[in-house]
Structure 1
Amino acid sequence: MKLLKIILIIIAVGVFIFVYNYDQISKFRVKNIRIDSKKVRNNFKITQISDFHSNNLINLENMVDRVKKFDPNFIVLTGDIIDSNDMKLDTVIKLFEALLKLNKEIYFVQGNHENRSELYKDLKDEMEKLGIIILEDSSTTIIVNNEKINLTGLKFYPKSREYKEITYYQETIKDLNLDYYNILLRHSPNNVEDILNGNEDLVISGHTHGGQVRIPLIGAIVAPGQGLFPKLDKGIFRINDTNLYIDSGLGNSAAPIRAFNPVQISNIIIEPKK
């Protein structure tokens, strides 16, 4: 009888862990972020989707409905939209087709999984065909609600090329009017302070997955490139006069495991400083 109780408890715990983990890796949440700035006179809104990793558990119709209610001025995809192990692009194309129903400009920046994927050229061809704007060591200036905004995207630099990134970045922004509100899209937040020149108002990143597994009151256990108990794991950080925002992602890599850190997208409002 005692053995039966132990077995039932083990089964119950196993079922609980499975159900809880499934909720964490498949039922996305929406993180609402507000950032103020002296540079803007009018609000504008951004939806960020990061680290999708071809997560076919996500209800894309529900996600599009949530984004539609927020009504962003534009959408940014901050890398690792595919997984380097993908053999085909079916799941990510479904994501693109769902987002395109919103009739919003979509901007993409490369992550480490795109960087090492054999499908990256095919992915770029699909994005260009669908009208998704690829910012790969390039910039654009857009006007939103009478606000001029510089958007710069840097491709993912592996460690062997990190030392060159500042050169590519300076070349990318040399023709911009840096008096405008400046947004840098960079997949990884790691060592971002090494390339900043003080003109960036907002850096939008992903890559860390918020650690995937977090400990309440402590935060992430580990993040790629930062090791144990990383400093830059998830949320808003301040680097001098620049805001860095890290989204914990809509998918998973290495293992489909999350704890105290469900998959998410982010709705960001930039507003005038009061």
Structure 2
Amino acid sequence: MKKMKNNNKSKRIIIITILILLAVFGGITVWGNLTVGTTRYKITLERLPVAFEGYKIAQIADLHNSEFGEDNSKTIKILKEENPDIIVITGDLVDSNHMDIDIAIKFIQQAVKISPCYYVTGNHEAWIGDIYYELEEQLLDAGVTVLRDEVITISNDKDSIQLIGLDDPDFSDQAPYLQESMLEAKLYNMNLKDGFKILLSHRPEFFGVYVKNDIDLVLSGHAHGGQFRIPFIGGVIAPNQGFFPKYDAGEYHEANTTMIVSRGIGNSIIPVRINNRPEVVIVQLYSQ
């Protein structure tokens, strides 16, 4: 009889423990979907010009019309507190499945008051058809520099860097087997100069192309952090990379190229993230 009571007590303890763990996991998951955080990277790049030592870049990726706070006040607060030298938006500002240009533009109108903003398209901009041109016009009116397969120079004192923006390949052809060569041709035709180069490109899966073109720093998104992240393993699934993607989030290095992949802020097809909090990325550059 005593043994049976002990067994029942042990079962109750196990059940209560499981329920507590599920409640904690559920609470963390809800918190991780309703809040946006900041992830900071200090990147050392040998070819960085002296005048850009400590240069701070804020990256917004995959907003997907999401809102954290009224009119994205929480995300804007992060940007104000960080006070970056520039803000870059690396695609999927809007979402083709639930279009709302107003959310994107209200966010942008606040962001441009903090720092100069630079924007490249993502696949969702390609998927909204002619509506994209309305979005682009409003971005330009707000003072955003839209980079569609082009390169500009950013100067700081006597030094300068090249800032390159690639249009999402879905604007040209959605066949995956053609997109890598298309991006390679675009970069080749830009006749990039020697010197420090930052590339804004929505697609991290083409890291090999960026390495081949001797890009110093790539800022990308698209993978949504793998949507569900398993500790010590990483993301589970990402667009155009499938299960257990190679480039899901974080910092990657090859040859002279460093790539930062943002987990992004919003969601699209899959509405829930697990162990994958939305993020504003802050990258600070150093030469040594």
TM-score in terms of structure 2 length = 0.84
Distance 1:12 1:37, change over 3 A: closer
Q: Which residue of 1 aligns with 2:193?
A: 177
CA shift for structure 1 position 17:
6.2
Distance 2:223 2:157 in 1: 32
Distance 1:195 1:66, change over 3 A: closer
Do 2:94 and 2:125's aligned partners in 1 also have CA atoms closer than 8 Å?
A: yes
Q: Does 1:153 align with 2:165?
A: yes
CA shift for structure 1 position 253:
1.3
Once superposed, what is the RMSD of the aligned Cα atoms? 2.5
Q: Which residue of 1 aligns with 2:183?
A: 165
Q: Which residue of 1 aligns with 2:30?
A: 22
Structure with more helix by fraction:
2
Q: Does 1:113 align with 2:131?
A: no
CA shift for structure 1 position 228:
1.3
**Residue among 26, 44, 49 paired with 1:36:** 44
Letter in 2 for 1:248: R
Distance 1:243 1:235 in 2: 10
Do 2:94 and 2:100's aligned partners in 1 also have CA atoms closer than 8 Å?
A: no
**Residue among 32, 38, 62 paired with 1:51:** 62
Q: Does 1:217 align with 2:232?
A: yes
Distance 1:12 1:56, change over 3 A: farther
Q: Which residue of 1 aligns with 2:9?
A: none
- Higher alpha-carbon deviation: 232-241 or 15-24: 15-24
Structure 1 residues 160-194: Cα deviation after superposition (integer angstroms, max 9, x where no partner): 3513221122112x1x4322x20011101112313
3-state SS of 1:191 partner: helix
Distance 1:22 1:253, change over 3 A: same
Q: Does 1:236 align with 2:251?
A: yes
Q: Which residue of 2 aligns with 1:249?
A: 264
Distance 1:74 1:195, change over 3 A: closer
Do 2:33 and 2:278's aligned partners in 1 also have CA atoms closer than 8 Å?
A: yes
Q: Which residue of 2 aligns with 1:82?
A: 94
Aligned length: 265
Distance 2:19 2:256 in 1: 52
3-state SS of 1:254 partner: coil
Do 2:36 and 2:280's aligned partners in 1 also have CA atoms closer than 8 Å?
A: yes
Distance 1:10 1:115 in 2: 45
Distance 1:146 1:65 in 2: 32
CA shift for structure 1 position 26:
2.4
Gaps of 5+ in 1: 1-7
Do 2:210 and 2:257's aligned partners in 1 also have CA atoms closer than 8 Å?
A: no
CA shift for structure 1 position 25:
2.1
Q: Which residue of 2 aligns with 1:206?
A: 221
Do 1:28 and 1:58's aligned partners in 2 also have CA atoms closer than 8 Å?
A: no
Do 1:220 and 1:229's aligned partners in 2 also have CA atoms closer than 8 Å?
A: yes
Distance 1:95 1:50, change over 3 A: same
Distance 1:208 1:100 in 2: 26
- Higher alpha-carbon deviation: 224-233 or 85-94: 85-94
**Structure 1 vs Structure 2: percent identity of aligned residues?**
30
Larger radius of gyration: 2
Distance 2:105 2:17 in 1: 43
Letter in 1 for 2:193: N
Q: Does 1:193 align with 2:208?
A: yes
Distance 2:61 2:69 in 1: 13
CA shift for structure 1 position 230:
1.1
CA shift for structure 1 position 43:
1.9
**Residue among 141, 146, 157 paired with 1:134:** 146
Do 2:238 and 2:248's aligned partners in 1 also have CA atoms closer than 8 Å?
A: yes
Distance 2:157 2:41 in 1: 19
Gaps of 5+ in 2: 1-15
**Residue among 254, 270, 274 paired with 1:259:** 274
